[in-house]
A and B are shown apart, each in its own frame.
Chain A
Amino acid sequence: MELLRFATAGSVDDGKSTLIGRMLYDSKSIFEDQLLAVEKTSTERGDDYVNLALLTDGLRAEREQGITIDVAYRYFSTPKRSFIIADTPGHIQHTRNMITGASTADLIIILVDARSGILEQTKRHALLASILRIPHLVLCVNKMDLVDYSKTEFESIKSEFEEYASRLDIKDITAIPVSALTGDNVVSRSSNMNWYDGYPLLRYLEEVYIGSDRNLIDLRFPVQLVIRPVSDSQVRDYRGYAGQLVSGILEVGTDIMALPSGFKSKISKIEGPEGDLDSAVPYQSVTIRLEDDIDISRGDMLCRPNNKPNIGQDISATVCWMSETNLAIGRKYLIKHTTKILRAIPTKLHYRLNVNTSHRDLEATTLELNEIGRVDFRLSNPIFFDEYKKNRETGSFIVIDETTNATVAAGLITGAVTAN
């Protein structure tokens, strides 16, 4: 059974919690005692309905204020697939939360209210989905029951969204008309919308093909740990390189090159959790053994000799700022990229992107919390990178503030800094 990770974006007003609650309830993933607790709290709070948001709002402050502060994770499965939902709050800390919840997602559901259509928030979510390059986007047009299940209303929202999205970079967009409250087109096909000939939402989530979303071409294996059990006499000569294959396919016999040394060898063994494997695919965690003893340590990367990542210490990236302390051009930060931690200085802010209008402000001098911009960095050492759009794992990094140890930004590499 395959795993699908998806994020949901939209506000409580769009019926997001109801939609998630409906999927969990109809797939029997809510337990009776959890539902009873929610019913009890709803009554105590004076809600006149069973507030399914209480299922995911796990923190006291969230329940007290009736808002979602942080990403919540929920789990359910059907006979076809297992699902992990990252439910991202719409308003508070929107960019930071959405990136946290959606950075590893295969798919994102953006919810809109059929009565209000495409809002500024919808566009912001679509833009972020495009920046993060989430492979599949579902536009869920909810509350169809309140617009008389009208095909015209649905088609007009759908085409307005598609028109906006055509300026973005989203591979696959599907629009589904639903009513989370009544269950129309959530789990089973709605008899109120016979004009809709696509899948209901859950069926779509079960069927959407994600096999080709991974990069199976460019072999990249960042080394996490070198395993050398020198004190154990039985395996004293063992030397293995442990890590997670982030892209490409590993096979026994594959020619590889280690970076930064440039030494070449061949894969002699791939060790999985339960014995040896003939091959490995992304994102398996394995231990690789090589035919030759070459000098490799944590932070190095294995690739094919004829397909190397970029190597450099001047990179340009789309940066999402996540801290209350603004970006300071010229200040020293740390970055973590694959399995390397190094010093970095942002040298130039090209522009700040208005996430609501996609407008680029070329006069900007800093990035504040939840703002996005294009930034050049000078790194203390070379890294082995690809463009984020080609490779999520070798094209991404986080920025750490050394004085507070906080994670202050996420970076998506657009390429090397070009001389100008």
Chain B
Amino acid sequence: MHNEISHLESLEAEAVHLIREVLAELEKPALLFSGGKDSAVLLNLAMLSVKPKKLWIPIVHIDTGHNFKEVIEFRDSIVEKNSLNLIVGSVQESIDLGTAVEDPNSNSRNKLQTVTLLETIEKYKFDALFGGARRDEEKARAKERFLSHRDTFGQWNPRSQRPEIWHLYNTKHNSGEHFRVFPLSNWTELDIWKYINLRHLELPSIYFAHKREVVRRNFMLVSVTELTPVLENEESFITSVRYRTVGDMTCTAAVESLAGSIDEIIVETQATRISERGATRVDDKFSEAAMEDRKKEGYF
């Protein structure tokens, strides 16, 4: 009999336990799904928490309208295959309504997602949203609880977080407030890849090395698309790249890579000396507290 459980099994068991607590104690949970690798792992954990029952909570995608087509295809195929209930919150609709206002100096809709996310939560009266954020991603995230309380404005108050002790989660809240729930808090980027390998999970194809036309901008490789065209003084070239994260096309960069399989990606991830967000996120570099500020406003 095997008496020890591996570190991936421990992380999996911890996440499943939290998901089950939330499903049992909250009335209207939903799961945030971006089509990225973390949300693929999260969705898998949620499905196996209740199997063989079908996962009954809705899957929420906050759609910036600036998606990689491979990611949307992946989202739709996962939803179809598992007969899930998909809710799409459209940033374009918030812009049309006038509740989200585009920054004339930037075509990134990353910040605007917060508006649409909070509108979607309010519309469906969700009281808990599972998200795939990890503490190793960013130092403001490293301070956040598994079960993170949000007030009626969706705001996070880092100074008055509830202590989280043993495995006892306090899900009490007033009406109109909600929780963000982060079952992957203790996972690292490498854990995610090893888990995808262990449980044979599917991912969008852009996570694997492929040839793509890119330009080099601020030391990052940006894909040439209608939204991110070649700028003056830039020269595009075709090279083999993959994505370490998938987000809004305007603020997600690729990394040079020949890794075409999960095994090869694991080797690369073990050797890399640049963090996931540092290598690929154009939007976190404005200030030391960029993430904390967005989170306080209600961001993922």
Contacts and interface: CB of A to CB of B under 8 A. Distances in A.
B292 A59 contact: yes
A398 B162 CA distance: 11
A61 B186 contact: no
Most buried by A among B51, B135, B141, B199: B51
A8 to B, nearest CB: 14
A72 B142 contact: yes
A224 B288 contact: no
> Chain B interface: which size bin?
35 or more
A84 B185 CA distance: 11
A61 B24 CA distance: 35
Contacts of B170: 336, 398, 400, 405, 407
A224 to B, nearest CB: 4
Contact of B278 (A28, A33, A60, A104): A33
Interface in A364-420: 392-393, 396-398, 400, 402, 405-407, 410
B260 interface: no
Given A1-B6, A227-B50, A73 B142 contact: yes
| Interface of A: prevailing SS | mixed
B23 interface: yes
Nearest to A33: B278
A392 B167 CA distance: 10
Nearest to A32: B273
B142 A74 contact: yes
A3 interface: yes
A235 B3 CA distance: 31
A75 interface: yes
Contact of B164 (A2, A32, A100, A278): A100
Contacts of A28: 273
Interface stretch (A120-128, A199-207, A236-244, A352-360): A236-244
Nearest to B194: A1
Given A3-B10, A224-B21, A398 B199 contact: no
Contacts of A211: 3-4
Contacts of A61: 158-159
A151 interface: no
Contacts of A278: 1
Interface stretch (A110-118, A281-289, A302-310): A281-289
A3 B174 contact: no
B275 interface: yes
Interface stretch (A50-58, A186-194, A253-261): A50-58
A334 B163 CA distance: 16
Interface residues of A, number: 78
B97 interface: no
Nearest to B187: A75
Interface stretch (B11-19, B63-71, B114-122, B232-240): B11-19
Nearest to A240: B52
A285 B23 contact: no
Interface string B34-59: 00000000000000111111100000
A232 interface: yes
B139 A55 contact: yes
B231 interface: no
Contacts of B162: 406-407
A56 B288 contact: no
Nearest to A282: B5
Contacts of A59: 140, 143, 158, 292
B9 interface: yes
Contacts of B25: 341
Given A63-B288, A229-B52, 12 more contacts: A2-B4, A2-B7, A32-B273, A33-B279, A37-B288, A75-B136, A100-B165, A216-B3, A224-B17, A225-B20, A225-B23, A407-B165
Interface of A: 1-3, 28, 31-34, 37, 41, 55-61, 63, 69-75, 77, 81-82, 84, 96, 99-100, 103-104, 211, 216, 224-225, 227-229, 232, 235, 238, 240, 242-244, 249, 251, 271, 273-274, 278-279, 281, 283-285, 287, 298, 322, 334, 336-337, 339, 341, 392-393, 396-398, 400, 402, 405-407, 410
24 contacts: A31-B273, A32-B273, A32-B274, A41-B288, A58-B143, A72-B142, A82-B7, A99-B163, A211-B4, A224-B17, A227-B53, A242-B20, A243-B20, A278-B1, A283-B5, A322-B163, A334-B172, A336-B168, A337-B168, A396-B166, A397-B168, A398-B165, A400-B170, A407-B164
Interface of B: 1-7, 9-14, 16-17, 20-21, 23-25, 48-54, 135-136, 138-143, 158-159, 161-170, 172-174, 185-186, 188, 190-191, 199, 272-275, 278-279, 288-289, 292
